[in-house]
Amino acid sequence: MEIILSDPVPPLFDELSNGRFEIRPLTTSTNSDCEAAVAILVYGHPPVDGALMDACPNLKVISNHGVGVDHIDVAAATARGIPVGNTPGCLDAATADMTMALILSVARNVVVGDHFARSPEFDHYQPALLIGQEVTGSTLGIVGMGRIGAEVAKRANAFDMRVLYHNRNRRPEIEELLGAEFVSMDQLLRESDFVSLNCPLTPETTGLIGAKELLAMKSTGILINMARGPVVQTGALCDALTAGQIAAAGLDVTDPEPLPRDHPLLQLKNVIITPHLGSASNVTRMRMMQMTIDNLAAGVEGRELPNRVC
């Protein structure tokens, strides 16, 4: 049985890998664990750096359960000739679904309404209660027009939304297929009713949304973060929501993640926070795990990874 390092994984891993691998703990690994390991399965977002790679002399592959690899030192892996695999494509639809779920939930007061409907205060129907924002026909600005961003745009079309996008590179095929408009970041912030962050975390996108950007949004604007927590400056967002500079936010990720239990953002009623559920659907998670195992097995056997980052 081949030994790998990983934080706890669900039973699905053993089912799909036919019990091939013995898992030893990643974040609390001992010297003997590292020396015996032939692979690292990155489940969740524990950091994997060059020092850990050096502590594993028999390391053949790093297989990431997910697309984003910002928590893995890819340059260090490349320098050491260690292939890194991820799971592109399989989670695009589920993450786009969750983006729309947050847009609808925030705009139509779903969470606040649920709490009110369960409370003693709800004793009769009130037509003037919790009037939300119209989603159909509104303007959606997508920051990051990759695979997930394109799936979000596709869903926005079904709501007759005007779709603006800002991306490192212009995508004429998306403009033609989905009617999206390529605009500057400033125009996107000014004109969008909803700003959806669907970009990867890179040095360029870290801290992308701060006080200046939030001030540029409409006062009725809603920010959705389905990217990574550090794309948004948490303090600036908390200030903007508290001061009413923007109307609300829907966050599937935060910085830090999770937030400290006494963080002021957790006390605000105009924000919905979910625990990083972007890809958390049954079908998607099964596909992700299978792709993770396929990369893992290929690396251990010295074959080319089906989905190689580096």
Which sequence positions are flagged as catalytic? Answer: 228, 257, 276
What are the Cα distances from residue 285, in Å, to 12, 94, 195?
9, 10, 27
What are the Cα distances from residue 269, in Å, to 113, 162, 193, 248, 255?
11, 28, 19, 9, 19
Question: Strands, DSSP E only, in the chain?
Answer: 2-6, 21-25, 39-42, 61-64, 84-85, 139-143, 162-166, 181-182, 194-197, 222-225, 248-251, 271-273
What are the Cα distances from residue 226, in Å, to 95, 173, 221?
8, 23, 16
Residue located via tokens 């299978």: 290
Residue from 233, 242, 181, 187 nearest 211 by CA: 233
**Cβ contact 284:23 at 8 Å:** no
Q: Is 250 exposed, middle or buried (0-12, 13-18, 19+ CB in 10 A)?
A: buried
Residue from 191, 193, 174 nearest 182 by CA: 174
**Cβ contact 198:143 at 8 Å:** yes
Beta bridge partners of 40: 5, 62
Residue from 99, 110, 157, 164 nearest 133 by CA: 110
Measured between alpha carbons, how far is 34 from 26 in angstroms, rounded to an integer?
A: 9
- The C-alpha angle 136, 140, 146, rounded to 5 degrees, equals 125
